[in-house]
Amino acid sequence: MADDYHDLYGVIYKDRLFKQQIENLEKVAEIASEVAERDTTRAIESVQVRVELANAMEMLLRNQSDIRREKNQIKQRLQLSIEDSVIIEPTVRISPITVDVDQAIEYGYSLQPRLRMLSIDRRKNEIDLNNSKGWDSFHINLEMTYGLERQKDRLREIWEDYDESHSVSVNAYVPIWDWGRRKSQIEAYEISLKKTELYIEESRRNIRSNIINAVANLEDYQQRALNVQLNLDMVQEISDVGMKQYTENTISLQDLLRMLTRQTETELNFLDAYLGYRRSLLSLMMQTYYDYENDISLIDKYRPAS
């Protein structure tokens, strides 16, 4: 479900991005028309801008189709009616996080339920193994009774007619030959215990490896997102300056269009880095069962209020 959310977030963010691109191209188209009126030799530039604008509108329409498809997919996953609305505001939230890898691994070991369940299985197998060693082995049962026994079923005679009961019995079980059944049972439980211990060891290795990779991915995407975020405001300013320079005939139309393309590429790069940051943060939380944004374990976070 988280992947569906991030996919929908991505196409909604692109919708805003493509609309901004169209707005910039419409401004350029107005400037190109004014330039063509002043200099008829540059009329082709107005045509070029209209072609770029048409391409941008086509990208917007295709992306809006993707939005409808992603929303319908989420509605199906949530079993919502087709008339229900799914609204996502593409807000950006980056909280720089420093993760101690060793501490994260300890969280994975102590908070993940899989290791807890395997530990319970190991203890159960240890008990079963100890019990199996007593099956079909030499043992003695000593039984002693001391009390009163009622002799009749009538309720009133329970305390009137009774006999004293005193007895001692000793029963001994001496195995002679079991065709190796006891030995085989013990070996089978020893194998089960060994398998559980191997599962625990393998799970610990996997948890450690997954957490190390999740931390590395988080650090990489987080740094990328922070770096690109610093450039977002600058690329729009550069585009605005480029439009002014084109109006003053100090740069060519191709140079201006490259500026606008670079702005779009920067926005898409930020989207890629930001979604990678959110997904890697979610992956780390799933591996460690710890919410690093709110500094609390998921067990405590979702513990029912007493």
**Average per-residue pLDDT for the chain:** 83
For residue 297, the Cα-to-chain-centroid distance in whole angstroms is: 15
Q: Give me the pLDDT at residue 209, please.
A: 94
Percent over 90 (pLDDT), the chain: 25
The DSSP letter of residue 305 is: P
- Are the C-beta atoms of residues 283 and 207 closer than 8 Å to each other? no
- Are the C-beta atoms of residues 62 and 13 closer than 8 Å to each other? no
Strands 290-291 and 162-173: unpaired
- Considering the entire predicted model, what is its pTM? 0.73
Residue 62 CA to residue 46 CA, distance in Å, equals 25
Percent over 70 (pLDDT), the chain: 88
Q: What is the pLDDT of residues 60-115, one digit of tens each?
A: 999 999 988 888 888 888 888 877 888 888 788 888 889 999 999 999 988 888 88
Q: Which residue has the tokens 């500094």?
A: 295
Q: What is the pLDDT of residues 6-39, one digit of tens each?
A: 888 899 999 999 999 999 899 888 888 888 888 7
Structural tokens at position 286: 């799933």
Q: Which sequence spans correspond to the domains of the chain?
A: 1-91, 138-174
Structural tokens at position 168: 């001692």
